[in-house]
Structure 1
Amino acid sequence: MQPIFPVTLELNGVRLEPLAPHHADGLRAAASDGELWNLRVTSVPEPHEVDAYIFKGMEMRPTRLAFAVIDAASGAVIGTTSYHDIVADIGRMEIGYTWYAKRWQRTHVNTSCKLLLLTHAFEALDAALVGLRTDNFNHASQAAIERLGAKRDGVLRHHAKRRDGTVRDTVMYSITAGEWPEIKAHLQYKLARRGA
């Protein structure tokens, strides 16, 4: 797999920029749209936690590359996503830490972001496999991942602590390089039907 460097990607009016301190106010506003930190099955930071969230995302390089998700037309921060658990010597990485302001959920944004990230992973970085994971009770996230065409690999039992102190099971999914061309065509088709 090729080395991973910070990069800006853009498609369908959505821009992914390497997450940086100047995105903090926008990220606070995005999290506040729906008070997303109150959702039990996500890791969205509370407004006072955003600076630390950004710093942690930057500090985790080179095993994580965090992005701010930007509405290109307005320049507004609408969420965040990341490459993470990057294991370059076997060509494996994951996409996660993904959340969007409530008003941008169930729009073209998530599909556009995944198309950008997967295209870059498979076609620029030569990844062999891209994984995705979610909380076992985050049924909306599982459905969204399955709509992408990712295959369910299994469940890691008693895997990670939630913010409320309970321990979640983690549902694991993946897409291989061989599956990518068909999944890419499917995502492009979905976006075309939405008029994105």
Structure 2
Amino acid sequence: MSFDFNQHLVLQNSLVRLRPLETTDFEPLKAVAFDPAIWQFTITRADDAVSLAAYLAAAMHERQAGKRYPFAIVERATGKLVGSTSYYSIVPEDQRLSIGYTWLGTAFQRTGLNRAAKHLLLSYAFETLQYERVELETDSRNLKSQQAMRRMGATEEGTLRRHRLTQGGYRRDTVIFSIIRPEWDALQQSVFKEYDARG
């Protein structure tokens, strides 16, 4: 199934709501984005007003270009905007896509919100789009991210050496993980069993 970048896609479960990221999210995101620790291993930063505005502008541009679909992550219990995540590298002919550009405010990390967001993105990819493969990638130095991917049942496939140019001109090694369609039913019944996709 092709992916419509113009659609207003909203996904929710018991913990989070994902809705399209907008430039008007600048003010609420300021409350959670301005922590340099969040951006230590990311390709770009958004920890001050200038870089956050640039981050949002780039996300909007990439959506319009059909390269990335960025979401705002909203905590359902409070209605707070707590971070962002995206679909990207969407290849309908190969029935695969990537999930990434994911970050949450420090206070919302290790609370289950990241896994809840991943549950929604994986559910939509496998059940609605009927895709066969979802990829996730992270900086080889980001051990916390790698552990989170393993805990949610993703398989580590290897390291792409000197794969991407990142902030400060550093050329990073990228660790690639994936989840494939035949694994999804079992993961729903184990890792993701606490989430009610109907919300």
Match runs of 1:7-86 below 5 Å: 7-32=9-34, 34-36=35-37, 39-42=39-42, 43-47=44-48, 48-61=50-63, 62-86=66-90
**Percent same amino acid among aligned pairs?**
36
1:157 aligns with 2:158: no
**Which runs of 5 or more structure 2 residues have no equivalent in the other structure?**
none
Question: What is the TM-score with the length of structure 1 in the denominator?
Answer: 0.90
SS of alignment partner, residue 69 of structure 1 = strand
Indicate the SS of the match to 1:24.
Answer: helix
Q: Which runs of 5+ in 1 are unaligned?
A: none
Structure 1 SS opposite 2:168:
coil
Deviations 1:7-51 (A, max 9, x none): 11111231111000111112222112x4335x4312441222112
Task: Please list every run of at least 4 consecutive aligned residues from structure 1 whose deviation after the TM superposition is greater than 4 angstroms.
Answer: none
Aligned partner of 2:121 in structure 1 is 117
Counterpart pick for 2:174 among 139, 145, 170:
170
Question: Where does residue 102 of structure 2 map in the other structure?
Answer: 98
Cα shift at 1:86: 0.6
Secondary structure of the residue aligned to 1:60 is helix
2:45–2:167 contact (8 Å) kept in structure 1: no
Per-residue deviation, 1:184? 1.7
d(CA) in 1 for partners of 2:36, 2:100:
20
Alignment size in residue pairs: 189
Report SS of the residue matched to 1:130. Answer: strand
Give the TM-score taking structure 2 as reference length: 0.89
Whole-Å Cα distance in 1 between the matches of residues 180 and 8 of structure 2?
A: 23
Quote the residue 2:139 is aligned against.
Answer: 135
Corresponding letter in the other structure for 2:110: R
Mean alpha-carbon deviation: is it higher for 40-49 or for 146-155? 40-49
Superposed CA deviations along residues 36-73 of structure 1, whole A, max 9, x for unmatched, are 35x43124412221122112112212221000111223
